[in-house]
Amino acid sequence: MKLEKHLLSILESLHDAVIVIVKDSTIVFVNKAYSEQFQVPAKKIIGRKLKEIEGNSRILEVLKSGKSLINDCSYVHSLKKDVCANITPLIENGEMIGVVTIMKDITELTKVQDELTKYKRDLSDLQEQLDRRYFYKLESKSSVMQKAVQLSKQVADTDASVILYGESGTGKEIFANSIHEASKRNNKPYIAINIASIPDSLFESEMFGYEDGSFTGSRKGGKKGLLEMANGGTLLLDEIGEMSLNSQAKILRVIQERKFQKVGGTKLYPIDVRIICATHRNLKDMIKAGQFREDLYYRINVVPIYIPPLRNRKEDLPFLSNTILNELCLKYSKHVRMSEEVLRIMEQYEWPGNVRELVNVLERMLVVCTKQFFEPENLPDYFCLDRHPSSINSNNSISPSIVSPLFTTKLDILIEKMEKEHIEFILKNTRNRTEAIQKLGISRKSFYTKLKKYQIE
């Protein structure tokens, strides 16, 4: 077959539109597909100059530059169509004699693409609104906190292992819960457990449950463990640093194999749980001290999120106090507002118990407040502030005079007073007495003796 003889019929049989112009832009050829796609009969267009029909045509650009355009998308005004074209100069004996263009009508595709872009934009707006709803409690002016929230939003819809690092009361559980709510697991259970509150001897049966008749006194029919209860959803292992090495090995097996065994059984149950861990401890130091398994650490430390202590984000105190106070006012059916003076005193304080302490302080203030605005008097004694507003000097720092009670109290009375307040504070800011004893660093016996001495309930 002599190709040259058949070139015209080859061009005619193409499904893509073809248009050929010569050097002075005269149109010398359009194929059948061109006429059909753009509804322009060949006889109406052949012999006319393209520069008079479509002065800004991309074909004319190629005619001028001599450089091809491949997959070039543009809008053709004279056709009222979006097209995608391959525009190539025709070269004969080293000289350009015209341009050949093969193109496709992509008007519908462009329309669909525009709609898709619009839907994508709407979807991301909606997602942002949803994210804001899930993470609204964690809004912050602090860049460290904003980074933590941003990272949480990014990982929420994945199954990546997240570990939340932060001091007690910084809001680790709120983070974990927000991540769960923003994930596709949000219609399944969210279960948070504090490892410190489970005695090691009960860890296995609490976590994995037990089979029927597995030990004397066990419940008939066996018992579901926390892991099974969280199936399909999210399990927060709070205070993972408190887990014994023995329990760490068991949890590691579950994470690796995605299967678990109940106490007293041999059957392996498949499990689909997203595990989020949280701790206030430095796990790397614990590994060095032989208290934490390195392999478990690398399993859970895929996305570490660091939550700053409240003292490092005091710029959030006004917003945080108001949000928490609003919730407390609803709870107590009271209407009390923050005052600038109280806020300034609060900003001087270091908040060792973080947001949990802030919630407790505000609750205590609300209960005792009889006015519409908080006053310095409503603050707990351990703020040790002079009641006079002038105690905050112009630099916003506390002048020595404000610790006036310290200047007038005998040392032993002062120590007892501080000890009592500290125990009360720890009790309020921990989940149970075992944790309080741990935090206080005293023996159980000494703890109960002090409770009796200070008549703490």
Closest CB to ligand ATP among 102 and 358?
A: 358
Does 168 contact ligand ATP by CB under 6 A? yes
Closest CB to ligand ATP among 138 and 437?
A: 138
Closest CB to ligand ATP among 142 and 404?
A: 142
Closest CB to ligand ATP among 148 and 402?
A: 148
Residue type, 373: F
String of contacts with ligand ATP for each residue 391-430, x by CB under 6 A: ----------------------------------------
Provide, rounded to whole angstroms, the least separation between the CB of residue 319 and ligand ATP.
Answer: 9
Q: Determine contact, residues 368/402, Cβ cutoff 8 Å.
A: no
List the interface residues with ligand ATP, window 170-209 (CB under 6 A).
170-174
149, 296, 300, 359: which one binds ligand ATP (CB under 6 A):
359
What is the arrangement of strands in the sheet containing 162-165, beginning at the earlier edge strand?
190-194, 234-238, 274-279, 162-165, 303-306
For residue 261, which phi and psi values (nearest 5 degrees)? -120, 135
For residue 119, which phi and psi values (nearest 5 degrees)? -65, -35
Among 324, 315, 307, CA closest to 346 = 315
| β-bridge partners, 18 | 102
Rounded to an integer, what distance in angstroms lies between the CA atom of residue 198 and that of residue 200? 6
Number of residues located near ligand ATP, criterion CB under 6 A: 19
83, 324, 365, 426: which one binds ligand ATP (CB under 6 A):
324
Provide, rounded to whole angstroms, the least separation between the CB of residue 290 and ligand ATP.
Answer: 24
Report which residue's Cβ sits closest to ligand ATP.
171
25, 82, 87, 169: which one binds ligand ATP (CB under 6 A):
169
Rounded to an integer, what distance in angstroms lies between the CA atom of residue 245 and that of residue 233? 26
Residues 6+ apart with CB under 8 A from 120: none
Residues 6+ apart with CB under 8 A from 66: 89, 96
List the interface residues with ligand ATP, window 212-271 (CB under 6 A).
238
Does 72 contact ligand ATP by CB under 6 A? no
3-state secondary structure of 27: strand
Does 153 contact ligand ATP by CB under 6 A? no
Rounded to an integer, what distance in angstroms lies between the CA atom of residue 380 and that of residue 95? 92
Read out DSSP for 319-344? HHHHHHHHHHHHHHT---B--HHHHH
Provide, rounded to whole angstroms, the least separation between the CB of residue 278 and ligand ATP.
Answer: 6
Q: Determine contact, residues 211/262, Cβ cutoff 8 Å.
A: yes
β-pair type (162-165, 69-76): unpaired
18, 59, 85, 138: which one binds ligand ATP (CB under 6 A):
138
Provide, rounded to whole angstroms, the least separation between the CB of residue 326 and ligand ATP.
Answer: 10
Provide, rounded to whole angstroms, the least separation between the CB of residue 355 and ligand ATP.
Answer: 4
Which helix (H) or strand (E) segment holds residue 43: the answer is helix 42-45
| β-bridge partners, 190 | 234
Kindly state the tokens that stand for 323.
């949000």
Of the candidate spans 5-13, 81-89, 167-175, 265-273, the one that interacts with ligand ATP by CB under 6 A turns out to be 167-175
| β-bridge partners, 261 | 268
Provide, rounded to whole angstroms, the least separation between the CB of residue 426 and ligand ATP.
Answer: 11
Does 317 contact ligand ATP by CB under 6 A? no
32, 137, 334, 364: which one binds ligand ATP (CB under 6 A):
137
Provide, rounded to whole angstroms, the least separation between the CB of residue 346 and ligand ATP.
Answer: 15
Does 280 contact ligand ATP by CB under 6 A? yes
- Applying CB under 6 A, the residues found at the interface with ligand ATP are 137-138, 166, 168-174, 238, 278, 280, 320, 323-324, 355-356, 359
